[in-house]
Amino acid sequence: MENEEGDNMERWMVTGANGFLGSRITEYYQDKYEITGANHGNLDITDEGAVTSFVKKARPRLVIHCAAISNTGTCQENPGLSEAVNVKGAVNLARACRETGSCLIFMSSDQIYAGNRTMEPGKEENTPEPVNVYGLHKRQAEDEIMAILPEAVCLRLPWMYDFPWRGLKSNSNLLGNLLKSLIHNRPLTLPVYDYRGITWAMEVVKHVEAAGALPGGVYNFGGGNTLSTYETAGKVLAMVTEGEDRSGLLIPDRERYAGQPRNLLMDTEKIRGFGIIFPDTVEGFQRCFEESPEYMLGLIR
Ligand SMILES: NC(=O)c1ccc[n+]([C@@H]2O[C@H](COP(=O)([O-])OP(=O)(O)OC[C@H]3O[C@@H](n4cnc5c(N)ncnc54)[C@H](OP(=O)(O)O)[C@@H]3O)[C@@H](O)[C@H]2O)c1
């Protein structure tokens, strides 16, 4: 396959290609790279033989592994499923990439830092013991992938959001939850003692290309934030409603994480050293709104 310039297109493979992130990566890069999408319908990543055959047939330069059980509650309730998909599935991809000489990007998570007992952002080289099944399995997957394929790139992603873009999949995310609350005039309860770098999915998507050229290793991959989730939502709501006071929609939850604030913030110095720079959370929302006028027009009026 050739691109617009008539050059042969580099081949990529995206797993979870119908999911929230995988669908956006596929859509964004479809004119630049020849992308083979693996979704749950055409590939079960827990099947090692099927994964090897699929990767051998696609012969990608880069595999972007987005397939997962991404819901932390599902993982907590069904650790066997979480291990099969989030650990074994990832290991299957790493083994297949080693066989075909493909590069691998693995999507990990800021949930790995949930055991951080300080208010400092977590650093890659100083990772606490994960406290939930999802975080534990993401950490285990990172370790096993790096042992099989030291050139692999593991990206620890923060909580992402986006508009329901051209019919692509939307997961539960802060922007979507806020919009639903606004539209239905329904209060939204958010934790006061919760800190994380909430990031526009399209910022992650745009930086994925550069991530494919990083040296093997684990990277925090998202924006910083000085505000709690509750405070962040207040700022975002004010941006969306432009002066109209709808702050009564937000209910502070002062009980959740009251004993020990949850700090999933990530230190981004390592990734900045490679020229990959994310805006902080509030700036990221501003950018998302500026770059999505088709959605904002409908909302503000
Ligand atoms: N969204 C976030 O805010 C966030 C934050 C941090 C990290 N991450 C990580 O980023 C990656 C992408 O997340 P996402 O939000 O795009 O998740 P998602 O929307 O849930 O997409 C994951 C996809 O994986 C597929 N899948 C599940 N089991 C499979 C299997 N056995 N074989 C093949 N495919 C399977 C799912 O297909 P079915 O639905 O058909 O089963 C789904 O389309 C995941 O690794 C996630 O853990 C996401």
- For the segment 21-36, the average pLDDT, to the nearest whole number, is 97
What is the rounded average pLDDT of the residues 27-46?
97
- Please state, in angstroms and as integers, the Cα–Cα distance from residue 276 to each residue in 20, 250, 260, following that order: 22, 33, 32
Domains in the chain: ranges and CATH: 11-300 (3.40.50.720)
- Of 40, 134, 137, 219, best ligand 1 pocket probe by most atoms within 8 Å of the beta carbon: 40
pLDDT tens digit string along 228-274? 999 999 999 999 888 788 889 999 999 999 999 999 999 999 999 99
Q: Span 128-154, mean pLDDT?
A: 97
Mutation to probe ligand 1, out of 70, 112, 132, 154 (largest number of atoms < 8 A from CB): 70
Percent of the chain with pLDDT over 70: 96
What pLDDT is attached to residue 101?
A: 98
Strands 34-38 vs 62-65: parallel, antiparallel or unpaired: unpaired
208 Cβ below 6 A of ligand 1: no
Neighbours of 114 (CB within 10 A): 21
Per this entry, what is the length of the chain?
301
Q: What confidence score (pLDDT) does residue 42 get?
A: 97
* pLDDT tens digits, 63-91: 999 999 999 999 999 999 999 999 999 99
Give the C-alpha separation, 82 to 184, whole Å. Answer: 34
Ligand 1 site, residue 66, Cβ cutoff 6 A: yes
Cβ contacts of 10 within 8 Å, gap of 6 or more: 33, 34, 61, 62
- Region 187-198: mean pLDDT is 97
Nearest CA to ligand 1 atom 38: 40
- Tell whether the torsion through CA atoms of 121, 126, 128 and 133 is positive or negative: positive
Q: How far is CA 253 from the centre of its chain?
A: 25
Retrieve residue 77's tokens: 């309730």
